[in-house]
Amino acid sequence: METYKKADLDAAGLRYDFVQDNQSASRKGVLRGLHFQKDHPQAKLVRVFSGEVFDVAVDLRKGSKTYGKWVGTCLSAENRRQLLIPRGFAHGFLVLSNFAEFTYKCDEVYHPEDEGGIAWNDPDIAVVWPDVGQIILSDKDKKNPTLAECQVEFQV
């Protein structure tokens, strides 16, 4: 299976120079996000190579007609779909299968001191997450502010 070909993205007008690959593994009910980097925003090309997740991107670009809106899709090893998340978007995912392995290409390196987040259940964004029973959050993600409380301002 071919999972990445720069020429295909270029042909679609999507010009990214990916500089880092990341991988994570999680069990059912784990919700990661909604994450972004404040001063070093990242575009991400995400996919699942084992299991299934519900993947979400939220537009954080002030002045965008889709500011504060979200898009979500199921990514799985079976459907082999990928999602491209542009700079200026928050990203998160919920594991639907018993176990999932998730990988993503980034066009900026990870800066831990630059990390930001928005509450996964922000009522103004109103992501409709699939029902998996108990949601499992990291201590960090439990403390994420709402979009209204967040001090990030990406430009269109």
Reply yes or no on whether 35 is catalytic.
yes
Asked whether the beta carbons of 132 and 28 are under 8 A apart, the reply is yes
Annotated catalytic residue, options 35, 40, 67, 91? 35
Annotated catalytic residue, options 40, 104, 110, 111? 104
Reply yes or no on whether 4 is catalytic.
no
- 44-50 and 154-155 beta bridge pairing: unpaired
User: E strand or H helix at 141, and its extent?
Assistant: helix 139-142
Rounded Cα gap, residues 18 and 20, in angstroms: 6
> 54: helix, coil or strand?
strand
Please give the single-letter amino acid code of residue 117: G
Active site residues: 35, 104
